[in-house]
């Protein structure tokens, strides 16, 4: 019966994690495959090569941004799955929606690389990040409401995951809003947000003080 099938579907979180790992690996690979080196037919001196490499700056910048983005969201999803005891059909489809947004990132990255000074391109890139964050927030909220989180998970962990997503998305939104003044300023702000979550400077300082 459909009701029984819906109850038994999506229980294995290990398969979901494996699928996620594969999709993130492909998305990260597509980012670097989309980079292009200068054409040998158009370069006839070291000066021309240097100029051509400088012209590729937006591609390398957006590649680095998106690699950090994928790394941050991969780590966030794995953190959630590590604290969820069992899956459900609905939780599986929420994560599939998250992975759908993941596969779109190489496309929004390429768009931004080609039109890095255009606000619509940056807006689409930010929307891609927003959807990723929203799906992760939905996933954790759903798991909490339906009793899927492991019993040994400290209460402060649950609150920390929600706060991290909400704060990160607020910072990304603030950074994206700066494109109203200058897209380069907006990109710099987004990169700073990413570096903050990658390097975790506050945690580093606490460790030094301890």
* Measured distance CA(34)–CA(28) in Å, rounded: 10
For the cut 50, the answer to whether the pLDDT of residue 32 exceeds it is yes
Segment 118-166, tens digit of pLDDT: 999 999 999 999 999 999 999 999 988 888 888 877 777 777 888 889 9
Total residues belonging to the chain: 210
CA 25 to chain centre: 13
* Total number of domains constituting the chain: 1
What is the model's pLDDT at position 151? 81
The predicted structure's pLDDT at residue 95: 93
Which of 25-29, 154-158, 191-195 bottoms out in mean pLDDT, i.e. has the lowest?
154-158
Using DSSP's 3-state secondary structure scheme, residue 96 falls into helix
* pLDDT level of residue 26 (50, 70, 90 thresholds): very high
Given a cut of 70, whether residue 75 has pLDDT beyond it is yes
By CB neighbour count within 10 A (0-12 exposed, 13-18 middle, 19+ buried), where does 32 fall? exposed
Average the pLDDT over 38-67 and give the result.
Answer: 77
Nearest-angstrom CA–CA distance, 92 and 74: 16
The whole-number pLDDT of residue 52 equals: 65
CA separation for the pair 42, 177 (Å, rounded) = 38
pLDDT the model gives residue 185:
93
Task: Give Cα 30 to chain centroid, integer Å.
Answer: 14
126-150 burial string, b = 16+ CB within 10 Å, else e? bebbebbbebbbbbbeebeeeebbe
| Contacts of the segment 1-10: beta carbons below 8 A, 24+ positions apart | 6/89, 7/89, 9/88, 9/89, 9/92, 10/87, 10/88, 10/89, 10/90, 10/91, 10/92, 10/93
pLDDT at position 74 over 90: yes
The stretch 46-63 carries a mean pLDDT of 77
- 204 pLDDT above the threshold of 50: no
Higher pLDDT, 156 or 185: 185
Residue 28's pLDDT is 93
pLDDT at 8: 47
pLDDT at 209: 45
Question: Residue 87 has what pLDDT?
Answer: 76
Q: What confidence score (pLDDT) does residue 146 get?
A: 85
- Contact of 115 with 99, CB cutoff 8 Å: no
In terms of pLDDT, which residue wins out, 137 or 45? 137
pLDDT above 80: residue 45? no
- Choice between 208 and 111, residue whose per-residue pLDDT is larger: 111
Write down the residue that tokens 């798991």 correspond to.
143
Domain range for 112 is 2-209
């Amino acid at each position: 019966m459909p009701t029984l099938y819906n109850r038994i579907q999506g229980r294995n979180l290990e398969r979901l994690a494996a699928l996620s790992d594969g999709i993130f690996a492909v998305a990260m690979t597509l980012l670097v495959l989309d980079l292009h080196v200068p054409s040998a037919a158009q370069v006839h001196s070291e000066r021309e090569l240097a100029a051509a490499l400088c012209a590729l700056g937006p591609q390398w910048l957006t590649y680095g941004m998106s690699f950090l983005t994928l790394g941050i969201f991969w780590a966030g999803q794995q953190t959630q799955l590590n604290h969820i005891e069992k899956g459900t059909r609905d939780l599986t489809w929420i994560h599939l929606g998250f992975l759908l947004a993941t596969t779109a990132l190489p496309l929004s990255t390429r768009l931004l690389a080609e039109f890095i000074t255009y606000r619509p391109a940056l807006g689409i890139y930010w929307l891609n990040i927003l959807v990723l964050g929203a799906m992760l927030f939905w996933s954790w909220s759903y798991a909490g409401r339906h009793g899927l989180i492991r019993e040994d998970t400290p209460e402060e962990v649950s609150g920390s995951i929600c706060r991290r997503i909400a704060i990160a998305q607020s910072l990304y939104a603030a950074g994206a809003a700066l494109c109203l003044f200058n897209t380069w300023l907006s990109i710099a702000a987004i990169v700073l947000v990413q570096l903050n979550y990658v390097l975790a400077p506050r945690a580093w300082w606490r460790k030094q003080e301890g």
